[in-house]
Amino acid sequence: MGLPPSQALHLRGVVLPEAVQRDLWVRDGVICAEPVPGAVTIAERGWVVPGLVDAHCHVGLDENGAVPAEVAEAQARTEREAGVLLIRDAGVAADTRWVDEREDLPRIIRAGRHIARSRRYIRNYGMEIEPSDLVAAVEAQALISDGWVKLVGDWIDREVGDLAPCWPREALQAAIGRAHELGLRVTAHVFGEDCLPDLLDAGIDCLEHGTGLSADLVATMAQRQVALVPTRLQIDNFPGYAAAGEPRFPAYAAHMRALHARVDSTLRMALEAGVPIYCGTDAGGVLAHGLAGQEIAALTRFGMAPEQALAAGSWAAREWLGMPTRLEPGTPADLVVYDADPRGDLATLLAPRRVVLRGRVVG
* Reported confidence tier of residue 5, pLDDT bands at 50, 70, 90: low
Taking every pair of C-alpha atoms in the chain, what is the biggest distance, in angstroms? 69
Question: What CATH class has 52-320?
Answer: alpha beta
Cβ–Cβ under 8 Å, residues 134 and 167: yes
Q: What is the pLDDT of residue 3?
A: 53
Q: What is the pLDDT of residue 6?
A: 60
- Kindly state the average pLDDT of the residues 208-234: 98
Q: What is the pLDDT of residue 155?
A: 97
pLDDT tens-digit readout, 149-179: 999 999 999 999 999 999 999 999 999 999 9
Cβ–Cβ under 8 Å, residues 241 and 199: no
Count Cβ atoms within 10 A of the Cβ of residue 270 and give its class: 0-12 exposed, 13-18 middle, 19 or more buried. buried
Report the distance separating Cα 363 and Cα 353, nearest Å: 8
pLDDT tens-digit readout, 332-363: 999 999 999 999 999 999 999 999 999 999 99
Q: For the chain, what are the domain ranges?
A: 9-50+326-361, 52-320
- Same fold for the pair 9-50+326-361 and 52-320: no
Q: What sign for the dihedral angle of Cα 192, 197, 198, 203?
A: positive
Report the distance separating Cα 321 and Cα 205, nearest Å: 12
| 267 φ, ψ (degrees, to nearest 5) | -70, -35
Which residues sit opposite 163 in a β-bridge? 156
Cβ–Cβ under 8 Å, residues 314 and 52: yes
* Reported confidence tier of residue 74, pLDDT bands at 50, 70, 90: very high
Alpha helices in the chain (DSSP H): 69-81, 134-142, 169-181, 196-201, 215-224, 232-235, 238-245, 250-261, 263-273, 292-298, 306-312, 315-320
Please state, for a pLDDT cut of 70, what percent of the chain lies above it: 98
Conformational region of residue 93, where left means phi above 0, alpha means psi within -120 to 50, and beta covers everything else: alpha
Catalogue the E-assigned strands of 28-177.
30-32, 40-43, 47-50, 52-54, 61-62, 65-66, 84-89, 107-110, 115-117, 127-129, 148-152, 154-157, 162-165
Q: Which residues of 218-246 are buried (b: 16+ CB within 10 A; e: fewer)?
A: bebbbeeebbbbbbbbbbebbeebbeebe
Question: What CATH class has 9-50+326-361?
Answer: mainly beta
Distance of CA 103 to the CA centre of its chain: 21
Range from 4-13, 31-40, 117-126 carrying the lowest mean pLDDT:
4-13
Cβ–Cβ under 8 Å, residues 43 and 353: yes
pLDDT tens-digit readout, 29-68: 999 999 999 999 999 999 999 999 999 999 999 999 999 9
Strand pairing class (354-357; 360-361): antiparallel
Cβ–Cβ under 8 Å, residues 43 and 13: yes
* Reported confidence tier of residue 7, pLDDT bands at 50, 70, 90: confident
Tell me the three state secondary structure of residue 356.
strand
Q: What is the pLDDT of residue 1?
A: 40
Cis preceding-peptide flag for 17 (omega within 30 of 0): yes
Report the distance separating Cα 299 and Cα 75, nearest Å: 23
Which residues sit opposite 157 in a β-bridge? 162
Q: Which residues of 272-292 are buried (b: 16+ CB within 10 A; e: fewer)?
A: ebebbbbbbbbbbbebebbbb
